[in-house]
Amino acid sequence: MLSLARLGARSARRAASARRATSAWAGNAEAYYDEDVVKADSCEILDETKVGPYRMRRPLKIPLSHRGMEVIQDPLFNKGTAFEPSERDRLGLRGLLPPKVNTMNEQCMRVMTTLRGLPADLDKHVYLSELHDRNETLFHRVVVRHVKELAPLIYTPTVGQACVEFGHQFKRPRGMYFSASDAGEMNAMVQNWPMKDVRVVVVTDGSRILGLGDLGANGMGIPIGKLALYCAAGGIAPHRVLPVVIDVGTNNPALLADPVYLGLKQPRLTGKKYQEVIDEFVQAIMNRWPKCLIQFEDFESSVAQPLLDRYREKLLCFNDDIQGTGCVTLAGVLASARHAGLRLRDMSFLCAGAGSAGLGVCLQLVDGMVEDGLSREEAMKRFVICTSVGAIGRADGTHGDPNASRGLSEERAIWVNESVPDGASLEETTKLFKPTCLLGLAAQPGGLFTEDMVKSMLDYTNAPIVMPMSNPTAKHECTPRQAWEWTDGKAIVATGSPLGPPPGKG
């Protein structure tokens, strides 16, 4: 048995530790409330004076059937210890929560203090996901306030690794899962979703998740993360969004061998059978929510454009990789061109990557150049697109014509540029074609943009525009620091994921 002296010493140490912890939390709280984003926050709760856009939204009513633990356990209505005494009486919560009423401000402070103490970004992503699953009010409140800090944790670049480990981290379902085995049942299945007023559906088939390839059902992390940002940054009510994965199998051998993989363990459907599954899903969504938007997300290039062409004139939809990434890139190019003193119509582009994102971005840039005065034919001559085997160019045998010999799809064939030989490397193409802007959308192991490539651009332009946009960050074609160091700070750099600029450069 421990002596009384030793017990006393242990109690004293525990008391001292508790005092230090209390003092640390007090310091953290004071520092948190002094942060600029907290002071400038204009989305205060209703009993305070500040007015923000989120106060203009009609409050979501708790169903009469919800009472007591049903309210606390429903993430859409739960707000933790923020329930006022009158709410606790009315909803049957008295005694089910600690007596202290914490404001949303206090709960935000506690969440952010805990989050910032976690060691890795993936740990922070999991912590935020768990908060999302139990308390959407607090989750969105925190994200609205700290969107700059939290967006990279909720979505790219962290969401890529979260998708890879989706089955291993799975705790609670969110969204809906449609699969090839549900054929003939989807119209009935969609009625299982409890929310009647869905406005936005983000759907993936998991075939090309970021730059990670085929992740099958694990791709659900993408629609969840994307819609979390739409709700927080775009002001869409959380009960009006629906994340969806359509599981048609996977060709990823690692997933097929993974004992905890949550999707269908069968080869991915193609052709007519694949199209029938997608058609049934789209029809089921339209039958229940005929005015909702369907966003196609991370579909591989062989199906992305055909699906968009199939539905774009029939219903409200868009493909984020083709159109969304393209619009954002066009905006970035216009801003970069203005900084470099160029007109869009005077620029030329070398794009590494001929997938749905690469081709979609280039099409959007062509549209912009046409608006700036070029003909479509002239605009398309300002682009060279490189596949994994080199430039899509003239088939003159210089490099064995690898693209031409294996056959070009309809989407790629329109991009043949006669000014460079088919199969030319990125370095050779840069020297021959002299692009003013490098677009990185290859989703290959990082480092495709070399020092020689970027430096050689200084021979004909004073401000090379370098846009390494592949995700996750490990697949960036180069880093901002590299581009700035190679050009002595003259490069204008835009990236696909947040990467802080080195001090004193750019």
Contact 135, 172 (CB under 8 A): no
- Residue 356 sits at φ, ψ, to 5 deg, of -60, -40
Q: Which residues of 100-115 are buried (b: 16+ CB within 10 A; e: fewer)?
A: eebebbbbbbbbbbeb
Residues 396 and 14: their CA atoms lie apart, in Å, by 79
| Catalytic residue from among 79, 124, 226, 490 | 226
Count other Cβ atoms within 10 Å, centred on residue 401: 18
Residues 351 and 470: their CA atoms lie apart, in Å, by 12
Whether 171 is catalytic is no
Cα–chain center distance at 477: 18
341, burial (CB in 10 Å: exposed 0-12, middle 13-18, buried 19+): exposed
Contact 465, 491 (CB under 8 A): yes
Contact 231, 241 (CB under 8 A): yes
Whether 155 is catalytic is yes
Q: How far apart are the first and last CA of the chain?
A: 67
Contact 242, 201 (CB under 8 A): yes
| Catalytic residue from among 32, 79, 124, 155 | 155
Residues 103 and 262: their CA atoms lie apart, in Å, by 38
Place of tokens 């209703």: 46
- Within 8 A by CB and 6+ apart from 116, the residues are none
The residues that are catalytic are 155, 226
